[in-house]
Structure 1
Amino acid sequence: MTILRLCTIVLFLLCTSVTAKTILFTNANGYTLIGEPGTDAQLKQFNTLLIINGKVAAVGDYEQLTKRLNLADITNQINLQGKTILPGLIDAHGHVLGLGQNLMQADLRDAASETAAVATVNNFAKQNPQLEWVIGRGWNQENWPSKEFPQRNSLDEAITDRPVYLTRVDGHAAWANSKALELAGITAATVSPEGGDIIRDSNGEPTGVLIDNAMALIEQKLPAASIEQTKQALQLAFDHLLAQGITSVHDAGIDALNLKAYQDLAAQNMPLRVYAMLSGSEPKLAELLAQGAIVSDDDKLTVRSVKIYADGALGSRGAALLEPYSDSPHQHGLMVTSQEDMRALYQLIIPHGFQINTHAIGDRANRIVLDEFAHAFELFGGTNLRHRIEHAQVVHPDDLVRFKQLNIIASMQPTHATSDKNMAEDRLGKARMKGAYAWQTLAQQGTIIAAGSDFPVELANPFFGLHAAVTRQDRDNQPQGGWYAHESLTLTQALQAFTLDAAYAAGQEQILGTLEPGKWADFIVLDHDPFARDAAILWQNQVQATYVAGERVYHQATTK
């Protein structure tokens, strides 16, 4: 134990008056990482946790801890009856507003065909006749028998009186009916915008599918959400995340309205923690940067980073590749933000002391982002700001070591690998898989990996992510032995990526990520010990209770 940690315990135990906010949790089967982020952290077990004023005061063995305590002064003692507790899980990449909106829209995630997707949308439209637009998300043509992009005609057969706009599961493509195309003025003569593509049929007519920046042609016509609608969606997302055991989330790209909603909610005591990234496309970005970082007194809201999109997604062939797609030789993907614009953004952001988190999926996009970080560091430094590449999904093997050399954090989502395994080789070919989803390779070279889900692209449940990280299998335990299993993580590594190292990726490892003295008492109670059950069923773990700052903010209905 370091001198600093020992002093922290002494200060808490001897200098803090015992109040009604003092809680002693006993008879726990507890796990936490201790120590520094990266390869030096270690897993520790404990059975007793003392919380004072929302922070961890002491953690360890009951007999040893209680020798220093007067139990009569502890106003609240909770016997966990041997239940497992872990530090609150941190999702290092999600879209909170998108999740909340998803909960209020047509959900197409389970649609097994284009016909099924249309039926779901039509049913949703009939149940919501008051809606001006019919909006949904979650379709994925890779899960359909045809594996082909859908057509506007199929939507037109079901809905003609209202515009329909349906975002693909990855958020990088959309499917619209003719009414929506008409309102956006999209015709055969419309030119695809830079960084986007209007998919056309053999006659040059728009099919109704728009890729990346082309989506904005319709999105600018959507009814603007009010601040109250935004806060309602965020609250729905908060409730959902807490039920999954997520106590902190890194929100990957918010606009000015979303920021205002967060600030309003933070003033009313948000139930979980949000590390929000300003959107690189926000028109008021320069103004917001000039206002400086935002850190609420209770650490519930932190804003000191910017999210930039380099390219699109692999499933919609928008990920920017160095060589053509193996299953579509005329396509290389799309740079959503040009290299020149990216350079200008880096030069704007870094001098303000803000972290940059750049979405890069394809090997070309990852190389360009690494090049631009290197260029910016040579000009005016900034390596200390813990910049990140979001996804780092397909990286040329020569570029993997540059993450370590440039001190770049790899913010990765384990369930992307198990969702993409059925199409990634088709898109890339076997040779490019060497640098794809390379979690263990990056970890072994000392690169910090911050794990997340990218919800609502994937489901938010972090135990799905832990399972995918450890097994490299889907929840049907396929493929046998794991998909490129040499890149799997150990359970300890995976837990660290969802806790301590995710906290480090937000500059919060001194206050979050582990149950060590002085840190916020954010933790979860589970129905099973994940370290004592078969890795194949890790995803089945259920959260029975979620605590933030020592306060229970979620519990299962059956939990007493």
Structure 2
Amino acid sequence: MGSLVIANGVPFIPDARIPGRTAIGIRDGVIAAIGEIADVRAEVGPGAEELDAGGGLVTPGFVDAHVHLGVGAVDALRCDLAGAASIDEIDTRIRAFAAEHGDAWVVGGGWDPTLFPAAGPRADHLDALVGDRPALLLDADHHAAWANTAALERAGLDVRTPDPEDGRIERDVAGRPSGTLRDGAAQLVARLLPQPRTEDVARGILRLSRDLLAAGITGWQEAALGAYGGFPDFTDAYLRLLTTGGLEGRATGAQWVPRDLTEEGIEAFVAATVERAARLTAAGLPSATAKLMLDGIVETRTAHLLEPYCGFEDRGRGYFSPALTTRLVAALNAAGIAVHVHAIGDAAVRDALDAFAAVPTADRRAVRNHIAHIQLIHADDVPRFAALGVTANAQPFWACATALARQSTLPLIGPDRGDELYVFGSLSRSGADLAMGSDWPVSTFDPWQGIHVAVTRRPPGEADAESLGPGESLPLAVAIDAYTRGSAVLLGVGSGVLRVGERADLAIANRDPFTGPEDAIHETRTAATVLGGTVVSS
């Protein structure tokens, strides 16, 4: 392994920012020196490669604590509706895909739910685009699906079909399925989908992992290893890449907890999870984490809330009972398995915290539990994160008043509750450990876009937009630290700090965002990425 000198950079060291431009020396994959260029060159020795940072901020490598590369890889093989700005554009893409692909099913997704009525798109609309071939298209959030008549019939869905416990079937005035399926209801059709080839998924994950590296992301967690929502288990695709040696970056995985798990099945599930974690970790994919999805999302009224949705009597629903959740979490932690919880609503967050609180302290402290998304948290529950040692795994790019938030989220929870969304500032001030991720492909995986929103609470490029809960913004240094050190420690992929003796996973920005206005943070880009002392993207 060679040596490297990064010259003319601004090291990100939160507690002791180094003024001016500084050099970082790397030898054998480890940071050997930080300081004046002459001193660093002398420490590293002759023959080192040199990289000019051009005055840009040098941070530890970003670590995405919640991402779905497998989903993105499969999406790329299907009908891509992401970014379509109108129903006409959606229709054009679907027709073109159906004409070009003679598969038995038309499968894809990425449609923007704000383009359709609140009840979602209809089956007869899709019938006109694809004819009598069954079709299923997920929305941009992957929490709703659009099915045509052939798909509904093939799945046996009709007026007599009850809503599943973890979802809802949208219906017409006669009670017949209208074409939109919310959360678990989508699985009633998705279970019938043909699955892509492992080698195709592996190629997609490899390509996307290189995109992550180009964005400065040196580590990540594949947030759901296991068949769910019409997607295959991505484990075999990762193992194929690890076997061939093609995968770069420090990948970890969270093993999916199936929605049909019962209390009677907990013991067997935990045993299988422990065995699988050992096998995958030995293969190079640390996976001593279980992914527990406790609710859906606000926009489909499947997030679990403490108070009813505005204009409705329901509070959403929890996908697992509190009793099962408590027993499962305790059993997993006792076995050395951390729990990565999806919780959007304040009731789901409370259920998760209650479950963690019931775990014996020694078991809980021996693992790294975290709750992702945390869109709504009751004020009484904010200090419990720090008290219980539960990391707040934030997806910061959502914490602004997007069109979806204005049209769907705020009307459903009450427009006066905007300041209660994504209380990252309150969590930080309470002493909670913060980590960050993207939930890509639901939002961009570019860390600088998420950091921009965490600091400004406004969409990138919209300096005049109203901030969403400005009191919950984070200082820039805190946001960067969460996306680097916080996530690295959470996933166990390094220290996430710039310090002599630490592994040299670094991201070099094209500028120093500390020297410009907050509204320009999103203009920052990763110019080069260093993984284990080697420049892997520049």
CA distance in 2, matches of 1:347, 1:26: 46
Match of 1:466 in 2: 451
Residues 459 and 465, structure 2, Cα contact 8 Å, conserved in 1: no
CA distance in 2, matches of 1:479, 1:404: 34
Report deviation, 1:285.
5.8
Amino acid at match of 2:90: A
Report deviation, 1:522.
1.6
Amino acid at match of 1:52: R
CA distance in 2, matches of 1:100, 1:382: 34
Task: Map Cα deviations across residues 140-172 of structure 1 (whole Å, 9 max, x no partner).
Answer: 323x27455111111111112322211122221
RMSD of equivalent CA atoms: 2.5
Amino acid at match of 1:362: G
Residues 139 and 168, structure 1, Cα contact 8 Å, conserved in 2: yes
Query: Are 2:324 and 1:341 aligned?
Result: yes
Task: Map Cα deviations across residues 274-310 of structure 1 (whole Å, 9 max, x no partner).
Answer: 121111129866323135446868x963211111000
User: Which consecutive residues of structure 2, in runs of 5 or more, have no partner in the other structure?
Assistant: 228-232, 262-268
Query: Are 2:62 and 1:62 aligned?
Result: no
Task: Map Cα deviations across residues 393-450 of structure 1 (whole Å, 9 max, x no partner).
Answer: 1011111111122111110111112245423321211454454210111001110111
CA distance in 2, matches of 1:244, 1:67: 31
Change (3 A) 1:240 1:472: same
Task: Map Cα deviations across residues 10-32 of structure 1 (whole Å, 9 max, x no partner).
Answer: xxxxxxxxxxx232324231323
Within 5 Å, give how 1:117-136 maps onto structure 2.
Answer: 117-126=90-99, 128-136=100-108
Change (3 A) 1:539 1:191: same
2:258 to 256, 281, 284: 281
CA distance in 2, matches of 1:286, 1:431: 46
Match of 2:248 in 1: 271
User: Which consecutive residues of structure 1, in runs of 5 or more, have no partner in the other structure?
Assistant: 1-20, 35-40, 556-560
Task: Map Cα deviations across residues 444-487 of structure 1 (whole Å, 9 max, x no partner).
Answer: 11101111111111122211101111111112416535221111
Indicate the percent of aligned positions where both proteins have the same amino acid: 30
Within 5 Å, give how 1:392-471 maps onto structure 2.
Answer: 392-418=374-400, 419=402, 421-422=405-406, 423-430=408-415, 432-471=417-456
Match of 2:344 in 1: 361
Report deviation, 1:173.
1.3
Query: Are 2:304 and 1:325 aligned?
Result: no
The range that moved more, 284-293 or 242-251, is 284-293
Query: Are 2:346 and 1:373 aligned?
Result: no
Match of 2:3 in 1: 23
TM-score (norm 1): 0.86
Match of 2:264 in 1: none
Match of 2:168 in 1: 197
CA distance in 1, matches of 2:3, 2:441: 35
CA distance in 2, matches of 1:554, 1:398: 44
Change (3 A) 1:52 1:68: closer
SS at match of 1:306: strand
Residues 87 and 523, structure 1, Cα contact 8 Å, conserved in 2: yes
Amino acid at match of 2:413: L
Query: Are 2:513 and 1:530 aligned?
Result: yes
CA distance in 2, matches of 1:439, 1:490: 11
SS at match of 1:253: strand
Match of 1:246 in 2: 217
1:548 to 521, 531, 535: 531
Match of 1:16 in 2: none
TM-score (norm 2): 0.90
SS at match of 1:315: helix
SS at match of 1:111: coil
Query: Are 2:75 and 1:102 aligned?
Result: yes
Amino acid at match of 2:10: G
Query: Are 2:173 and 1:188 aligned?
Result: no
Task: Map Cα deviations across residues 88-110 of structure 1 (whole Å, 9 max, x no partner).
Answer: 21111111101222233333232
SS at match of 2:359: helix
SS at match of 1:382: helix
Report deviation, 1:273.
1.3
CA distance in 2, matches of 1:413, 1:291: 28
SS at match of 1:546: strand
CA distance in 1, matches of 2:305, 2:374: 13
1:261 to 228, 237, 259: 237
SS at match of 2:392: strand
Task: Map Cα deviations across residues 217-236 of structure 1 (whole Å, 9 max, x no partner).
Answer: 11110112332233122113
Number of positions where the alignment pairs a residue of Structure 1 with one of Structure 2: 520
Change (3 A) 1:426 1:152: same
Change (3 A) 1:68 1:524: closer
CA distance in 2, matches of 1:479, 1:403: 33
Within 5 Å, give how 1:59-208 maps onto structure 2.
Answer: 59-68=34-43, 71-72=45-46, 74-126=47-99, 128-142=100-114, 144=115, 146-208=117-179
Residues 272 and 300, structure 1, Cα contact 8 Å, conserved in 2: no
